[in-house]
Amino acid sequence: MTVIFSKKCEIGIQAILYLATEGEKELFNAHQIAEKVKQPKEFVSKVLQTLTSSGIVGSKKGKNGGFFLNRSANKVRLIEIVETIDGLDIFNNCVLGFPGCSSEEPCPVHDEWGRLRDEAYKMLSEETLEDLIDITKTKLLTLH
Amino acid sequence: MTVIFSKKCEIGIQAILYLATEGEKELFNAHQIAEKVKQPKEFVSKVLQTLTSSGIVGSKKGKNGGFFLNRSANKVRLIEIVETIDGLDIFNNCVLGFPGCSSEEPCPVHDEWGRLRDEAYKMLSEETLEDLIDITKTKLLTLH
DNA sequence: CTGAAAAAATTATTTATATACTTTTAGAAC
DNA sequence: GTTCTAAAAGTATATAAATAATTTTTTCAG
């Protein structure tokens, strides 16, 4: 089985979506977040630590510490999370695995797949966390 | 770095595309194929063995043996190769990694991503090897 | 029949990701 | 200052994929 985004990236997105539902600067520790998104606490913690370097997430150490959404939900796009964790290789490399695939030297599905790929990139670049809050709230309630 | 299709799948597609450029029932051993697609022989051999079960590829054992495209290029679609090697999970599972994601209980990007996903599936289901032969020939010449 | 070649199967190793656990550092409350 | 908590960093283990090597089986040519 393959996936489009790594497990790390999936967890990162889920955790940040949860923070977005709660509001900017609201503090939650890794344990609380992990419970909401039903993922392992250690992994959530690790991934959110990585995301603090991008400025999307802020953290507070020590007693009463935790993580918080550091920017307004309408200022954060999904692509930033993807880029921080997985990088953008998936949008640049050949889907068939041919090296050096380009418009000049295309693989046989280069144009069509490239179009879908660009649309995917565009979608991730345009959607902000704010756009996704309502459905995320509902979705999180279904997890158990 | 993530990929959409596994390395196995990539190699499978590349190898079969090469066989398609040479014609149905034309016999090539794993070494020859590996040279053309610039991938490790053992891996090419392994993947093609897997594909013989699907009937896309045929094999001949022993001296002067090898692999051949078992069906007419216009009768083989890319999706069959993908399904045999990787399965179709990537088209069914939630891109954000939420379990139980469906129209009834959608994740926040379900509709839009689902549209792209369906288009990707459709593309792979419609393209036959024959459609891809010319560009593949050109592409293979660029590999070194 | 023998030797050679290649698929097919099996085994082994390496690499990367996912998962789990432990220690260190930092900061708040008392 | 002490205690507690949680991020931050580091370490270890498990799993899966990728890669490599070896053995077995099959088949053909001579």
3-state secondary structure chain B: CCCCCCHHHHHHHHHHHHHHHHCCCCCECHHHHHHHHCCCHHHHHHHHHHHHCCCCEEEECCCCCEEEECCCHHHCEHHHHHHHHCCCHHHHCCCCCCCCCCCCCCCCCHHHHHHHHHHHHHHHHHCEHHHHHHHHHHHHHHCC
pLDDT mean over B104-117: 93
pLDDT mean over B117-133: 94
- Return positions of chain C under 7 A from a protein CB: 3-10, 17-22, 25-29
Q: Is the pLDDT of residue A142 over 60?
A: yes
Distances (CA, A) of A48 to A71, A130, B8: 14, 19, 32
CA distance B87 to B50: 13
Compute the C-alpha angle A116/B118/B100, nearest 5°: 120
pLDDT mean over A127-144: 93
Residue B95, pLDDT score: 92
Q: Judge whether B72 and B129 are in contact, CB under 8 Å.
A: no
Residue B97 lies in a domain: no
For A111, counting Cβ atoms within 10 Å of its Cβ (0-12 exposed, 13-18 middle, 19+ buried), the class is exposed
Residue B72 lies in a domain: yes
DSSP-derived secondary structure letter, A55: T
Residue A91 lies in a domain: yes
Closest CA to B136 of B41, B35, B15: B15
Residue B121 lies in a domain: no
pLDDT mean over A54-78: 92
Residue A100, pLDDT score: 86
Residue B3, pLDDT score: 82
Residue B5, pLDDT score: 92
Q: Is the pLDDT of residue B144 over 80?
A: no
Residue B1, pLDDT score: 56
What is the number of structural domains in chain B? 1
Residue A1, pLDDT score: 57
Q: Judge whether B48 and B126 are in contact, CB under 8 Å.
A: no
B chain contacts of residue A5, beta-carbon cutoff 8 Å: 2, 95-97
B97–chain A nearest CA distance, Å: 5
Residue A124 lies in a domain: yes
B59–chain A nearest CA distance, Å: 23
Residue A114 lies in a domain: yes
Q: Is the pLDDT of residue B106 over 60?
A: yes
Q: Judge whether B135 and A108 are in contact, CB under 8 Å.
A: yes
At A68-114, the pLDDT tens digits run 999 999 999 999 999 999 999 899 899 999 988 888 999 999 999 99
Residue A129, pLDDT score: 96
Nucleotide nearest to B57 (CA to C1'): C7
Q: Judge whether A47 and A11 are in contact, CB under 8 Å.
A: yes
A72 CA vs D14 C1’ separation (Å) = 39
Provide the ipTM.
Answer: 0.88
CA distance B117 to B127: 16
CA distance B49 to B33: 13
- Cβ distance B123 to A112 less than 8 Å, yes or no, reads yes
Q: Is the pLDDT of residue B139 over 80?
A: yes
What whole-number percentage of chain B has pLDDT above 70? 99
Could you list the residue range(s) of the whole structural domain that residue B12 is in? 7-87+129-142
Asked if A9 reaches chain B (Cβ–Cβ under 8 Å), the answer is: yes
Residue A1 lies in a domain: no
Q: What's the CATH number where A118 sits?
A: 1.10.10.10
Q: Is the pLDDT of residue A128 over 70?
A: yes
pLDDT mean over B71-93: 93
Residue B103 lies in a domain: no
pLDDT mean over A106-126: 93
- Cβ distance A98 to B5 less than 8 Å, yes or no, reads no
**A70 contact to strand D (CB, 7 A limit):** no
